Structure 1
Amino acid sequence: MSPTTAARPRRADAARNRELLLRAAHAAFTERGVTASLDDVARAAGVGPGTLYRHFPTRDALVLAVIDDGLTDIHRLGTELLAAGDPLGAVREWLRAYIEQGAIYKGLAATLASPPSPADGAASTCDQARKAGAALIVRAVEKGVLRADVDPDDLLDMAAAITWVGEQPDRDPARCRRLLDVFVDGLRAPVS
């Protein structure tokens, strides 16, 4: 990569605008969910829509940037759990954290179920978090505690579905934990 094509540091005003957009998006997502108006987000940040889209070309890119720290924590948790003595317990603990992250904002489950492609820079922490969970799932299959036909993407989709159930009005907050337990227990490898 030549010096002219290397990534340049962000200008101070661009970095400030990005931070203002992230704060405004967090406030909007907290109040109205991830389908909040992006024009309202830009207005609350004191910038125009063009500035928002220069920083975040898609809604999902903005959503993932807002939850970046949480996704990083989930990746870290998955990496740490690879050393756990109980592979099934590790999968359950990681999925519980993933579901809790997905419940931060109403509508976030859909973004986690279909994150932007890894080519989009904003998708990198989501992709890393999902890969950490997939590694735990593969390990549990290899150890013979999860069924051999378990696909990591299927489990992640079910985690997003459980999160969606928890978003529904008048649901018992403990329901997601119960659904996760039933789901994971149903994936146990048959005892021979």
Structure 2
Amino acid sequence: MKRSATAEGVMRSIANGDGRLLRSDGQRNRDQVVRAALEIFGENGMLGTVEQIATRAGVSRTTVYRSFPTRRALQIAVATSQFAQIHRIALLAQERSAGSGVGLVDFVFGAFEYNQANRLYLELFEGRPTAEMLDVHTASRRTIAELTDESRAAGVIRPEVTDEDVALFCSGMSWRLATDHATTQDDWRRSARFVLIGLGVPDELLPPRRVPQAHLDPSVADA
């Protein structure tokens, strides 16, 4: 089966809204602003200011506005970047699965851990991808479908389970957990386990009997 786009391609696909790759210095500044915005929004919610973001990124306000003319454009960029990270978790799970069928298990746990730590993008696009996110969303769903097909063929999940079922279970549960900021990491892990049990994953493939290989931080998983 042909694999989905590489993780590098996923991140490159959101380099610029019109598809053009930015110059290296411009891309570096843009990446710094997006990372800073994620931190500031995470700390202060939507009350975080451009001044705070520019200071955290080590750039001027003009540099921020050059890449993101409006506040909404910056919020969408942050959400799209996080959406791409979910796809990257799926790609890493797929690579490590190597046809065994356990990649879907790793993806679900990795996605739930990421969502627990990075709820902001769920709040920003309210469960519906924007036009800017659509390409990343489509690629992510394609990889999830491949993981589902592999798991179904290996007998890891029930034969009637589809990728739509997986997406509905994961997105619905994540959205519910994200709207309650009192939930803990244990709540998210417990919910991921219940999602997989609902899909028919046998107990021996679930923690604590098996430690999922997908990591919260994709950069760690690359190591």
Same fold (TM > 0.5): yes
Percent of pairs with identical residues: 20
* SS in structure 1 of the partner of residue 117 of structure 2: coil
What are the equivalent positions in structure 2 for 1:29-48 lying under 5 Å apart?
Answer: 29-33=41-45, 36-37=46-47, 40-41=49-50, 44-45=53-54, 46-47=61-62
Q: Distance in 1 between matches of 2:126 and 2:108?
A: 12
Q: Distance in 1 between matches of 2:65 and 2:112?
A: 31
Aligned residue type for 2:167: L
Q: Distance in 2 between matches of 1:42 and 1:29?
A: 12
Deviation (angstroms), 1:135: 0.8
Kept in 1: contact 2:38–2:78 (CA 8 A): no
Q: Summarize deviations over 1:24-77 as a string: whole Å, max 9, x none.
A: 3122232134xx258x23763213657414798473333222x37734531431
Provide closer, same or farther for how the CA distance between residues 100 and 131 of structure 1 changes in structure 2, counting only shifts above 3 A: farther
Aligned residue type for 2:122: A
2:145 counterpart (120, 134, 146): 134
What are the equivalent positions in structure 2 for 1:41-190 lying under 5 Å apart?
Answer: 41=50, 44-45=53-54, 46-47=61-62, 51-53=67-69, 57=73, 59-65=75-81, 67=82, 70-71=85-86, 73-85=88-100, 87=101, 89-109=102-122, 111=125, 113-117=127-131, 120=132, 123-167=134-178, 168-188=180-200
Task: Quote the RMSD (CA, aligned, Å).
Answer: 3.6
Q: Where in structure 1 are there 5+ consecutive unaligned residues?
A: 1-6
Match in the other structure for 2:37:
25
TM-score (norm 1): 0.67
Kept in 2: contact 1:150–1:187 (CA 8 A): yes
TM-score (norm 2): 0.60
Kept in 1: contact 2:42–2:120 (CA 8 A): no
* SS in structure 1 of the partner of residue 68 of structure 2: helix
Q: Where in structure 2 are there 5+ consecutive unaligned residues?
A: 1-18, 55-60, 202-223
Q: Distance in 1 between matches of 2:80 and 2:189?
A: 24
Q: Distance in 2 between matches of 1:109 and 1:9?
A: 26
Q: Distance in 2 between matches of 1:136 and 1:8?
A: 30
Q: Specify the structure having the higher radius of gyration (Cα).
A: 1
